[in-house]
Chain A
Amino acid sequence: MAIIRTEKLEKIYQDNGVPVHALKGIDLSIDKGEYTVIAGPSGSGKTTLLNVLGALDNPTKGKVFFEDADLSGKKKSELSDFRLKKLGFIFQAYNLIPVLTALENIEFSMMLLGKSDSERHQKSMALMEELDIAELANKRPNEMSGGQQQRVAVARAIVNNPEIVLADEPTANLDTKTGSNLLDLMEKMNAEKNITFIFSSHDQQVISRAKRLLILKDGLIEKDS
């Protein structure tokens, strides 16, 4: 079943007064449980595509469907709510809130949803055990290494059982070994919990481990395997 799909998706944005046609017509369908990587040279539009899929941006033309519901017309606050409940994000940097501990960061979205103290705590601790980062529970981000921070970011992204996790260059600031470990983690989550993963990356490691690879060039899909 297609969990997310686009029809003739186009995106034009303004760059200092110059219109940039980032996406020129994307027709795409991703099923639940997929592990997809969007790759391509700089300027190909991969980050833009990820942003639209992640309801962070609205298409200029065309439509985006999440489980057959049209996202394109929705208001910012509705999209925000949608993201909170259904999606998870992992960014290249600044993932964690610096003044919160790892545990608190992971609990963050549950707190926004108003879940009870015990439920939050229990779920978070359980997940941390699973991801082998339980000892970081009371540490602040500035007390962890880059790799540890990203692992916590993964935990935060999936603790709420999102439908899709979108990751934008998650390994960009990590060395090869740490990056590899991170990818192990995400593959594990994908397999065990059937969470859909969509990446945007130019990291060779990430690309080589993709189960489905979408290559973008100049705003269009060049290759889809």
Chain B
Amino acid sequence: MNLLLKLAWRNIWRNKRRSFLTLLAVAFATFAAIGMRGIQLGTYDVNIKNAASMFAGYLQVQQKGYQSNPTMRKAVRYDDNLTETIASQEHIIGFTPRIYADGLISGENSNTSQGTAIFGVNPQSEKKVTTLIDRITEGEFFTLANTDEIVVGYKLLKNLNASIGDTLVLLAQGYDGSTGNLKFRICGSIKTGSPEFDAMGVFIGLDTARDLLYLYGRVHAVVIKLDDMNNLDNVQKSLSMAIHDTSAAVLNWGEVMPDFKQSIEFDNVSGIFMLFILILIVAFGILNTVLMSVTERFNEFGVTLSIGMPQMKLVYLVILETIFITLLGIIAGDLCGYFLNNYIVNNPINLGAEFADMYAEYGFLPVIESSLDINIFLNVSFSVIIISLISVIYPALKVFKLEPLKGIRYT
């Protein structure tokens, strides 16, 4: 074995230029792959965290069936049983209840009315779970769950021609089917970047929402924050089991925002595909190099086989040579990739303000981030090795079939 290692290593450096160029090609592909994957995965992470902490939370407890078809009546029972079960779960650092409804909003003075999405929230607990309260851009968020104050999306406010301090009327269809209406005083406006909230959303106190909608003892969602995204699956499972109410379901952010999750998946898949293409291109390069280096040595191989070297050992030799070159390239690529990713992690690239709105519309932040997750390096390196081993099959086959005499006489 030692002999093969020694031979393989020395053989690589017979043609320094060629080996070096092949190594460089592998290194570049590895580097580019790690860079791209790092950016993709890092950016996903940041965006997931952002989306979760902005509104959707890490987990949600809802009535079964609400997510696929959100109607007023599909509200989950919200009692001490539930709150105690949630509070006693490990890794949960906060939770807050929400009530949703669609309604009409009209300014008291103006002749306009708009369709609106109504969110009933408890500001005290909301603070501990999401960054919603911080999104106030004018005025302030109300502090009680029972209040006649209302926070309005900034675009909606403009469309209503209203300002802080004005009165508004909210009209909505309640839990029992009847239409309720209540007067509110605008205390602030909110800017999230997402048109769902900014152009259509209003926030009122949870208890006030109960009165408006005649919805007591139930809510539409309990939004939960965890200490670490990595605990997501565990907590989802154990919370599901702990909750006694069989009509309740525990959903993670992906299930609550399937569009968002799928966009990430879609991008992820296309990223992996690009990676594959890149590595494939390098594979051809490796194939070419190895094939050349093998046919050049047919004379020498012929002699070596004649004096009794077992055929398979010669095949292993060629495979070893390829592995050496590839490994060197991978190591170089990994190092460079590490530096690049590390740099971006510490200096995330902010895309211009013009892009900010566009990204926000889809729920993404206009930043480019990277990731130093070890899996990226492992996956890329592993893929490169596998592909290089596949490319060596053809040359190895040639060596396998080489007869000593044919080798000696080869021109």
Asked if chains A and B are in direct contact (CB within 8 A), the reply is: yes
Partner-B contacts on A (CB < 8 A): 51, 54, 56-57, 76-77, 80-85, 87-89, 91, 93-95, 97-100, 108-109, 111-112, 156-157
Given A91-B408, A94-B299, A94-B408: A100 and B307 within 8 A (CB)?
Answer: no
Check if B7 sits within 8 Å of A80, measured CB to CB.
no
The chain A residue with its CB closest to the CB of B409 is A47
Contact indicator per residue, chain B 390-404, by CB within 8 Å of chain A (1) or not (0): 000000000000001
The chain A residue with its CB closest to the CB of B408 is A91
The chain B residue with its CB closest to the CB of A107 is B3
Contact indicator per residue, chain B 1-12, by CB within 8 Å of chain A (1) or not (0): 001000100110
Check if B306 sits within 8 Å of A99, measured CB to CB.
no
Contact of A97 among B304, B310, B404, B408 (CB under 8 A): B304
Query: In whole angstroms, how far apart are the Cα atoms of A97 and B307 in the complex?
Result: 12
Query: In whole angstroms, how far apart are the Cα atoms of A111 and B10 in the complex?
Result: 17
Check if A112 sits within 8 Å of B310, measured CB to CB.
yes
Contact of A87 among B3, B303, B308 (CB under 8 A): B308
Check if B303 sits within 8 Å of A81, measured CB to CB.
no
In the complex, which residues of chain A have a beta carbon less than 8 angstroms from the beta carbon of B307? 83-84, 87-89, 108-109, 156-157
Counting from the closest, the 3 A-B pairs by CB-CB distance are A84-B308, A99-B10, A83-B308
B138 at the A/B interface (Cβ < 8 Å)? no
Check if A80 sits within 8 Å of B311, measured CB to CB.
yes
Contact of B308 among A85, A93, A94, A100 (CB under 8 A): A85
Query: In whole angstroms, how far apart are the Cα atoms of A218 and B368 in the complex?
Result: 79
In the complex, which residues of chain A have a beta carbon less than 8 angstroms from the beta carbon of B404? 56
Counted as pairs of residues, one from A and one from B, with CB atoms less than 8 Å apart, the total is 63
Check if B308 sits within 8 Å of A97, measured CB to CB.
no
B309 at the A/B interface (Cβ < 8 Å)? yes
The chain B residue with its CB closest to the CB of A95 is B303
Query: In whole angstroms, how far apart are the Cα atoms of A100 and B11 in the complex?
Result: 9
Within 8 A of A (CB), among B270-316: 299-300, 302-311, 313
Given A57-B405, A111-B3, A112-B3: A89 and B303 within 8 A (CB)?
Answer: yes
In the complex, which residues of chain A have a beta carbon less than 8 angstroms from the beta carbon of B305? 80
7 new A-B contacts, CB < 8 A, other than A80-B310, A84-B308, are A51-B405, A77-B310, A88-B307, A89-B306, A99-B14, A100-B7, A100-B10
The chain B residue with its CB closest to the CB of A117 is B2
Query: In whole angstroms, how far apart are the Cα atoms of A88 and B307 in the complex?
Result: 7
- Centre residue among A80, A87, A88, A93 by max chain B CB count within 10 A: A80
Check if A94 sits within 8 Å of B300, measured CB to CB.
yes
B298 → chain A, closest Cβ, in Å?
10
A selection of 20 A-B contacts at a CB cut-off of 8 Å is: A54-B306, A56-B306, A56-B405, A57-B405, A76-B311, A77-B311, A80-B311, A81-B310, A82-B308, A89-B303, A94-B408, A97-B7, A97-B300, A99-B7, A99-B14, A100-B7, A100-B10, A108-B307, A112-B308, A112-B309
The chain B residue with its CB closest to the CB of A99 is B10
Query: In whole angstroms, how far apart are the Cα atoms of A89 and B303 in the complex?
Result: 8
B404 → chain A, closest Cβ, in Å?
5
The chain A residue with its CB closest to the CB of B9 is A99
Check if A94 sits within 8 Å of B10, measured CB to CB.
no
Query: In whole angstroms, how far apart are the Cα atoms of A156 and B7 in the complex?
Result: 17
In the complex, which residues of chain B have a beta carbon less than 8 angstroms from the beta carbon of A95? 303
B97 → chain A, closest Cβ, in Å?
74
In the complex, which residues of chain B have a beta carbon less than 8 angstroms from the beta carbon of A94? 299-300, 302-303, 408
In the complex, which residues of chain A have a beta carbon less than 8 angstroms from the beta carbon of B3? 108, 111-112
B303 → chain A, closest Cβ, in Å?
5
A141 → chain B, closest Cβ, in Å?
10
The chain B residue with its CB closest to the CB of A85 is B308
In the complex, which residues of chain B have a beta carbon less than 8 angstroms from the beta carbon of A100? 7, 10
Query: In whole angstroms, how far apart are the Cα atoms of A45 and B312 in the complex?
Result: 30
Query: In whole angstroms, how far apart are the Cα atoms of A108 and B299 in the complex?
Result: 17
In the complex, which residues of chain B have a beta carbon less than 8 angstroms from the beta carbon of A83? 306-308
In the complex, which residues of chain B have a beta carbon less than 8 angstroms from the beta carbon of A89? 303, 306-307
The chain A residue with its CB closest to the CB of B404 is A56
Contact of B11 among A99, A111, A156 (CB under 8 A): A99
Contact indicator per residue, chain B 199-239, by CB within 8 Å of chain A (1) or not (0): 00000000000000000000000000000000000000000
The chain A residue with its CB closest to the CB of B10 is A99
In the complex, which residues of chain B have a beta carbon less than 8 angstroms from the beta carbon of A56? 306, 404-405
B107 → chain A, closest Cβ, in Å?
87
In the complex, which residues of chain A have a beta carbon less than 8 angstroms from the beta carbon of B311? 76-77, 80
- Centre residue among B10, B302, B306, B408 by max chain A CB count within 10 A: B306
